[in-house]
Amino acid sequence: MSDSEVPTGVVEQIWLKRAKRGPMDAVGTVHARANRGLVGNANQRGRRQITLLEAERWDEHLAALGHEHDASLGPIRRRANVLVRGIPLVDSRGRVLRLGNVRVQIAGETKPCHQMDEVFPGLQAIMRPAWGGGAFAMILDDGDIAVGDAIRWDDSSEPPSLFDRVPA
């Protein structure tokens, strides 16, 4: 498959979390640091350096709850760093995703926690199947990620796996 045939998506929104359980701040651009995390975000190092959520899945969750038009239940409530559209994350562990010029390696599925039921009762259960809570990843490259950046799978590159070098 040529580069022009590789499915692409887009970065729709970006949020940073100043502290654990703290508020999420919307930003237009964020600087990613390889094997560290997003500058200004509470989560640094480890395998959860950046979290991703599919916009399409969030829309499905709200529709299942009968709240697809409820602006108070926007995807910021999921507490992920990056909202993506057009790229499915299900079963993507180990794959490399390019967000603009920054590559990230998917480390696993983000399991929805009890905080989702604080957002809306029943949301946690609806998010459980098939990576409905999104994915977490390790950052492979320094660089900026911006709202509007194209995203695509970059499985042709062979980055050194960070799974063996980074503690959970």
- Domain 3-153 sits in CATH at 2.40.33.20
The mean pLDDT value for 45-72 works out to 86
pLDDT, residue 165, reads: 47
**Torsion sign (Cα): 88, 93, 96, 98:** positive
Q: Enter the DSSP assignment of 101.
A: T
Which is more confidently placed, 87 or 66? 87
Model confidence, pTM: 0.84
Dmax (CA) for the chain in angstroms is 45
Predicted confidence (pLDDT) at residue 166 exceeds the cutoff of 90: no
Residues 139 and 45 sit within 8 Å (Cβ to Cβ): no
For the chain, domain boundaries: 3-153
